[in-house]
Amino acid sequence: MKILLAHNNYNLVGGAEVFYHEVGRVLAKNNHQVAYFSPNDSDVDSKWKSYFPDVINYKQKNILNSIFNIKNIIYSQNVKENFIELLNDFKPDIVHVFAIYARLTPSILDACREYGVPVVMSCNDYKHICPNYKLFRNGSLCEDCKGGKFYNATINRCAKSSTMYSVASTIEAYVHKHMDIYKKNVRIFLFASEFMAKKTEQFWGAQSFNWDILKNPFDSKKYPLCKDYEDYCLYFGRLIDEKGVDILVKAMSVIPQCNLKIIGSGPDEDMLKELVDGLGVNNVEFLGPKWGEELDDVLKKARFVVVPSLWHENFPYVILQSFAFGKAVIGSDRGGIPELVGAGDFGHVYKATDFNELSEKIIDLWNSPESTVVMGKKAKDYMDKNFNDDRFYKNIIRIYNKVLL
């Protein structure tokens, strides 16, 4: 089978890019031909780069320049032409798209329909139903745009807290809705969590689109079970408001007998350090950003991991990584987190905004180290059974074949 994959970033930026490349790796491993389509960023190294279009990087360019080029952010004809060239040369049996808004734009979906090749789309955030992609603003969950009321994105200034970005996102949402650009072009929408699928049904209507579950590609068997631990629990991820790290710091302030290490960086880093100082907290240590083996070394020695997200996080890689090393997880009740943590006796789920309940969950695992190790072992067994290349490949081919029938 010949599969064409398309995503907004070729180089690794976060979990979405891991997903993109892991899908390609697993398909190629099983002797399928795989082509890639992404923007032509300066440091991209790919055999398919000659097809990659030059696009406006709205995150780096002047905001006025982005607004003046809004038509290319909403629906890029230039990108569409490059994509058509790749379609003609590669002749895929199926196209699998990931995040394509603002950079590649959904113009490539029209190209697929016009060419006659079926499309599946992996949704790893809420951009298809929410102009700011998070269903979250100003520290709280938000569904103000439900029912096509996208003007609320401008009223709330929810895109980067900027009026101009919010206006652009509002226009983008209305244009895409008017064109029915997603539902008319995508055969099956793919979600990693039941939560995101059901939330999309609430916005779009349960019978208005086809969907299936495709969980993250992750080869758990490559990771060793780590039963040993030192005296700390761990948070690793971005330091930004929707991640709820402030709730975690407040929880730690009432349980001084427990220790927390924080790995990561982000716009809330200074605020969080000021919060630690203001609360007189002495059991929280900021380690800065760490990646690869350096991150793994800290994770392997943690008692357990905390995922305190305030937004509806879809299917966090941090939980998969933690389980793969045999670490129990305490996670909030938002998004797809309970589907993972609650899949077995792998940790605890708590109400996202309640730091007192979180502190109780932390104390429970901290004071029961042997039981916590058992939880971690169960999580590892679950991961090895359900998250491996063979399991992922069987599922994705099942979905592709369903589309091609």
Helix axes 15-29, 389-404, angle to 10 degrees: 80
Amino acid at 128: H
Amino acid at 394: K
Mean pLDDT of 177-192: 97
- Is the CB of residue 172 less than 8 Å from the CB of residue 189? no
User: Is beta strand 140-141 parallel, antiparallel or unpaired with respect to 119-123?
Assistant: unpaired
Q: Cite the DSSP H helix spans in 180-268.
A: 194-204, 245-253
Confidence grade of residue 160 (pLDDT, cut at 50, 70, 90): confident
Record: fold of 221-386: Rossmann fold (3.40.50)
pLDDT of residue 76: 96
pLDDT of residue 62: 56
Is it the case that residue 177 has pLDDT exceeding 70?
yes
Helix (H, G, I), strand (E, B) or coil at 176: helix
Listing DSSP states for 61-107 in one string gives: S-HHHHHHTHHHHH--HHHHHHHHHHHHHH--SEEEE---TTTT-TH
pLDDT of residue 23: 98
pLDDT of residue 58: 61
- Is the CB of residue 155 less than 8 Å from the CB of residue 137? no
Mean pLDDT of 201-207: 96
pLDDT of residue 71: 87
CA max distance for the chain? 63
Chain segment 314-352, per-residue pLDDT in tens: 999 999 999 999 999 999 999 999 999 987 799 999 999
Return the minimum-mean-pLDDT range out of 13-27, 171-185, 194-208.
13-27
- Is the CB of residue 166 less than 8 Å from the CB of residue 159? yes
Amino acid at 252: M
pLDDT of residue 27: 98
For the chain, the residue count is 405
Whether 2-128+182-219+388-404 shares its CATH topology with 221-386 is answered: yes
Residues 220, 134, 358, 227: what is their CA dihedral angle, to the nearest 10 degrees? 10
**Residue 228 corresponds to which tokens in the numbers above?**
């040993």
50 compared with 15, residue with greater pLDDT: 50
pLDDT of residue 373: 98
- Helix and strand element counts for the chain (H, E): 16, 14
DSSP H or E run through 308: none
pLDDT of residue 64: 57
Q: Report how far residue 144's alpha carbon sits from residue 175's, in angstroms, rounded to the nearest whole number.
A: 18
Is it the case that residue 67 has pLDDT exceeding 80?
no
Is it the case that residue 9 has pLDDT exceeding 80?
yes
Query: Considering the domain 2-128+182-219+388-404, what is its CATH architecture?
Result: 3-Layer(aba) Sandwich (3.40)
Chain segment 343-367, per-residue pLDDT in tens: 779 999 999 999 999 999 999 999 9
Q: Cite the DSSP H helix spans in 149-239.
A: 151-156, 163-179, 194-204
Which sequence spans correspond to the domains of the chain?
2-128+182-219+388-404, 221-386
**What is the model's pTM?**
0.93
